[in-house]
């Protein structure tokens, strides 16, 4: 009577979902609006940097060969024959024992091959002459053309999150309009007759709907455009039509709740009536084992659990990489790192656990500590979590001080699928032990 | 003729700026728009969580005292007297050898003190009876009222960046409208006659203006509202009026360039004519030693360097904590951590250096490596930087493998001023060596 489901491994589940990953289109936005978007094309240098030999300081441009004999005992005098503000150029060639006053960033004048800073010379005759007390070498205080970047160099790969440094690069190379990835439209429908809306007063047996607002925020953090379709009604036909209607308006659809084997869990029946292909409906993970993902003509439906943390984890493991791939990233998953476990988890669990944790940096080391009891219904600790602690399933528990993998929730860099799938220290340990 | 400036230490400079820090006002936004904002008031639980004893699974609610003698050899039968969907309640009391079908999240009915999962019972007579093969203890599979959170508890402090987990909390506790910090208006004026706008073709001696767009993005990352006033003209009176006009429209004003001692550096004269109080005009740091900050009737003017990385560092050290304080954060500075240095810096420098670096996590340790040559005019590496490597000034260089402090650029959590100022490992080492 009750359906028995066979769990699959998390990596297998991610692999099945990622078969339906696709890339979105490209649009152009003004550079002022590019921060926080995802680059949709490689960023290429349209000129060398610096574009010409220039002065990195305010000072005097000079011929180094004229300075060989300069010393404190025998300072040499140079005639100031001109001055160059940043952005202007010196017309003509600087001759022997001549110098030109030059501002930071200005082009080195013809004939000169070194610059000396203002502070290191003495000006004479109201600035008509300067006195130099040390020899200069050719190239002293010159930023050479192309020493930073050569023309045509790929400086940032497409799919990268645009941070302020990348905005500086876009400006330097003339990207007035920036090619960015169009965000996928991700719909959210909440299910659960126990759910009150956020502005309703509490009633016996009911709780306020937190999953929907949480997932809408997770979509934004992942780089998607979040669209909320509201809560399901209790009537099957209405539910079915809500899902069908939402699917037409979005790239991906998320439902929260309704995927267990309980009597009020309509999603399996809705998938069936839609003719959707269920990729899996049970994953060997805690929380979130009932996560159910299906596809209809290539369009993904994410059936996330109704438990807040199961919902949270399901999104980050399965939906986030789909959104990031749509944004042209080749690092679609959460960034994975290794950390020292800051507590004991003595109870073994056959399923892989993803424990909400706080990753801290202690004297140069990563330390991961759970932010609270890892009950799947605990909501109050979710705000402090900045990482998921990965505890692979097996016959043994975990101890304080062990090395474990963590997935970084607030990182924008991500990881490749290959790196995400690579066995972590505990898997390797388990395999050595023949588990 | 050339002004000699006396450098002050970075911590002293930050302290002088922070004397003028002030907090902004509060506004309310719908919960759907709260992600990425900063909480302007403590988040308080308006009810216990869970609000009632509830079932964490789909199953059957039961009186544990009735189950003492259940075993595989002698299964016990219970009559199913009702069912409770999530969100509905059972009216009446469950009696001896009776049970009620219960959905995940539903309230435990009167009389029951345990739940058994669907999968672990056998249903008989079309669901009218169930058969139980094991005893239950009182409290088995029950989430008790208040076990997660007590009413009145402060769950998140004001000034905190609102992440998806915090959005879930806001929904749970009925924050349909969320108190968030009003963003400060931060103006930007770019100076430098060598600057072309981003859409102009390169010209001899000129470069495109990258600082302005970079700083506009840094303002957004820090949580401010960025307003661009364009580039300065070359005429002093016009410049002066541009600054004066901009000051009236913003909370803080940033200028890039024009703060050196060069002949075209108007900012010092503008500060003088405005009657602004210059807090400092030379900091013992590289890059960014010419960073000049002044205040006029308590309003801060940040005179950042015209060099891209000096400008970048100056913003993160001095402007960011002012913006975050305005947003009510008590962790206004960049987050500080310790890391292993991934390269040599053999050349000693009397000034503290802030080297753009990439912080990676390698087998549980933080490793910081510069993203390129640390020339102050290098722009191409800025995009890869996710940290500033702090190398305190002194008479010795640094070696690969040493422990150094790093400041995390993409982190949203921040640090207290006290923690930011605390001596790092190298300072401690330097002091031991009597430097």
**Radius of gyration of chain A from its Cα atoms, rounded to whole angstroms:** 31
pLDDT of B380 higher than 80: no
With a pLDDT cut of 90, the percent of chain A lying above it is: 75
**pLDDT greater than 60 at residue A429:** no
Q: Nearest Cβ partner of A2 from B119, B169, B205?
A: B119
pLDDT for B426 beyond 70: no
pLDDT value for A378: 62
Chain A residues with CB under 8 Å of B166 CB are 382-383
Residue pointed to by tokens 């395999």 = A431
Contacts of B193 in chain A (CB under 8 A): 85-88
3 state SS of A146: coil
The nearest CA of chain A is from the CA of B168 a distance in Å of 5
Is A26 a residue whose pLDDT tops 90?
yes
Residues of B in contact with A193 (CB under 8 A): 85-88
Interface test with B, best of A90, A109, A167 (most B CBs within 10 A): A167
Q: What is the pLDDT of residue B263?
A: 60
Side-chain-side CA neighbours of A277 within 13 Å: the count stands at 11
pLDDT at position B297 is 97
Closest CA–CA distance from residue B308 to any residue of chain A (Å): 8
Q: Do A214 and B264 touch (CB under 8 A)?
A: no
Query: Is B264 a residue whose pLDDT tops 70?
Result: no
Q: Given a cut of 60, is residue B430 above it in pLDDT?
A: no
Residue A428 has pLDDT above 70, yes or no: no
pLDDT at A328: 97
Residues of A in contact with B44 (CB under 8 A): none
User: B85 vs A148: CB contact, 8 Å cut-off?
Assistant: no
What integer pLDDT is reported at residue A434 of this predicted model? 38
Residues of A in contact with B83 (CB under 8 A): 263
Buried b (16+ CB within 10 A) or exposed e, B317-338: bbbbbbbbbbbbbebbbbbbbb
Chain A, nearest residue to B3 by Cα = A119
Q: Which of A49-53, A310-314, A354-358 has the lowest mean pLDDT?
A: A49-53
Contact at CB, B105 and A380, closer than 8 angstroms = no
pLDDT digits (tens, 9 = 90+) for A354-384: 999 999 999 999 999 998 754 555 666 778 8
**A-to-B residue pairs, Cβ atoms closer than 8 angstroms:** 352
CB contact under 8 A, A383 and B148: no
Which of A164, A373, A401 should we substitute to test contact with B (largest number of B Cβ atoms within 10 Å)?
A164
Domains observed in chain B:
10-25+183-326 (3.40.980.10), 27-49+149-181 (3.90.105.10), 59-132 (2.170.190.11), 335-432 (2.40.340.10)
Distance CA B316, CA B215 (A): 10
Report residue B149's pLDDT band, with 50, 70 and 90 as the boundaries: confident
Q: Does A427 score more than 50 pLDDT?
A: no
| pLDDT value of position A1 | 41
Q: Among A285-299, B108-122, B288-302, B365-379, which stretch is predicted with the lowest mean pLDDT?
A: B365-379
CB contact under 8 A, A167 and B119: no
pLDDT tens sequence across A180-232: 999 999 999 998 878 899 999 988 878 899 999 999 999 999 999 999 999 88
DSSP 8-state class, residue A427: H
Of A166, A174, A383, the CB nearest to B208: A174
A33 HSE (CA, 13 A, CB side): 9
Give pLDDT, residue A375: 53
A31–B198 CB contact, under 8 Å? yes
Is residue A188 within 8 Å of A212, Cβ to Cβ? yes
Tell me the average pLDDT across B270-277: 96
d(CA B166, CA B72) in angstroms, rounded, equals 46
Q: What is the pLDDT of residue B375?
A: 53
A410-421 pLDDT, tens digit per residue, is: 999 999 999 999
Please state which of the ranges A282-291, B242-251, B256-265 shows the lowest mean pLDDT.
B256-265
Average of per-residue pLDDT across A298-304: 97
Confidence of residue B130 (pLDDT cuts 50, 70, 90): very high
pLDDT score, position B364:
95
Q: Which range, of A138-147, B86-95, B421-430, averages the lowest pLDDT?
A: B421-430
- CB atoms A377 and B143 under 8 Å: yes
Q: Are B383 and A194 within 8 A, CB to CB? A: no
Res A433: pLDDT? 41
Alpha-carbon dihedral A107, A111, A114, A117, rounded to 10 degrees: -60
pLDDT of residue A426: 46
Q: Do B339 and A364 touch (CB under 8 A)?
A: yes
The pLDDT tens digits for B88-101 are 889 899 999 999 99
Measure the CA–CA gap between A257 and A427, rounded to whole angstroms.
31
Q: How far is A297 from chain B (nearest CA, A)?
A: 30
- The rounded percent of chain B whose pLDDT value lies above 70 is 94
Region A393-401: mean pLDDT is 93
CA–CA gap between residue B303 and residue B286 (Å, rounded): 16
| pLDDT at A62 (0 to 100) | 96
Rounded to the nearest 5°, which phi and psi values hold at A337? -145, 170
- What's the 3-state SS for B314-343? HHHHHHHHHHHHHCCCCCCECEEEEEEECC
Q: How far is B354 from chain A (nearest CA, A)?
A: 15
Question: Which residue in A84, A130, A168 has the most chain B C-beta atoms within 10 A of its own C-beta, making it the best mutation to test that interface?
Answer: A168
Q: Which residues of A touch B210 (CB under 8 A)?
A: 167-169, 171-172
Q: Tell if the CB–CB gap between B383 and A202 is shorter than 8 Å.
A: no
Q: Between residues A149 and A290, which one has the greater pLDDT?
A: A290
Average pLDDT over residues A160-167: 96
DSSP assignment of A43-88, as one string? EE-SS-BSSS-B-SSSEEEE-GGGGTT--SSS-EEEEEEEEE-TT-
For residue B346, the distance in angstroms to the closest alpha carbon of chain A comes to 20
Residue A296 clears pLDDT 60, i.e. is over it: yes
Minimal C-alpha gap between A160 and chain B (Å): 10
Provide the mean pLDDT of chain B. 91
Q: How confident is the model at residue A3 (pLDDT cuts 50, 70, 90)?
A: low
Cβ of A165 within 8 Å of Cβ of B382? The answer is yes
- pLDDT reading at B63 higher than 90: yes
Q: What is the per-residue pLDDT for A105?
A: 82
**B contacts of A155 (beta carbons < 8 Å):** 380, 383
What are the chain B neighbours of A47 within 8 Å (beta carbons)? 202
């Amino acid at each position: 009577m009750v359906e028995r489901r066979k769990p699959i491994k998390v990596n297998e589940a991610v692999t099945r979902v990622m078969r339906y990953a696709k890339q979105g289109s490209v649009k152009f936005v003004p550079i002022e609006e590019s921060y926080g978007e995802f680059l949709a094309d490689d960023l290429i240098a349209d000129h060398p940097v610096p574009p010409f030999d220039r002065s990195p300081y305010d000072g005097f441009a000079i011929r180094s060969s004229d300075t060989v004999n300069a010393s404190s005992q025998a300072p040499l005098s140079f005639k100031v024959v001109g001055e160059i503000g940043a952005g202007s150029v010196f017309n003509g060639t600087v001759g022997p024992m001549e110098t030109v006053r030059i501002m930071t960033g200005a082009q080195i004048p013809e004939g000169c091959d070194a610059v000396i800073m203002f502070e290191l010379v003495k000006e004479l005759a109201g600035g008509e002459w300067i006195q130099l007390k040390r020899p200069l070498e050719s190239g002293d205080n010159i930023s050479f053309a192309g020493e930073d970047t050569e023309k045509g160099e790929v400086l940032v790969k497409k799919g990268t999150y645009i941070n302020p440094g990348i905005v500086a690069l876009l400006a330097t190379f003339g990207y007035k309009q920036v090619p960015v990835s169009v965000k996928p439209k991700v719909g959210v429908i909440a299910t659960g007759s126990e759910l009150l809306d956020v502005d309703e007063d509490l009633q016996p047996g009911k709780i306020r709907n937190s999953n929907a607002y949480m997932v809408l925020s997770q979509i934004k953090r992942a780089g998607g455009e979040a669209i909320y379709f509201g809560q399901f009604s209790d009537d099957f036909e209405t539910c079915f039509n809500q899902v069908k209607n939402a699917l037409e308006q979005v790239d991906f659809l998320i439902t929260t709740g309704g995927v267990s084997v309980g009597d009020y869990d309509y999603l399996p029946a809705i998938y069936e009536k839609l003719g959707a292909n269920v990729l899996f409906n049970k994953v060997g993970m805690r929380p979130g084992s009932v996560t159910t993902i299906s596809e209809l003509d290539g369009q993904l439906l994410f059936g996330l659990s109704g438990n807040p943390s199961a919902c949270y984890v399901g999104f980050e493991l399965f939906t986030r990489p789909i959104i990031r791939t749509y944004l042209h990233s080749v690092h679609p998953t959460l960034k994975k790192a290794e950390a020292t476990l800051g507590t004991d988890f003595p109870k073994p669990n056959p399923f892989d656990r993803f424990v909400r944790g706080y990753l801290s940096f202690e004297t140069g080391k990563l330390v991961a500590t759970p932010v609270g009891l890892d009950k799947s219904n605990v909501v109050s600790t979710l705000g402090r979590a900045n990482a998921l602690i990965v505890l692979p399933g097996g016959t043994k528990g975990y101890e304080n001080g062990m090395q474990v993998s963590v997935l970084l929730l607030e990182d924008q860099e991500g990881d490749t699928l290959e790196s995400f799938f690579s066995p972590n220290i505990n898997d390797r340990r388990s395999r050595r032990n023949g588990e």
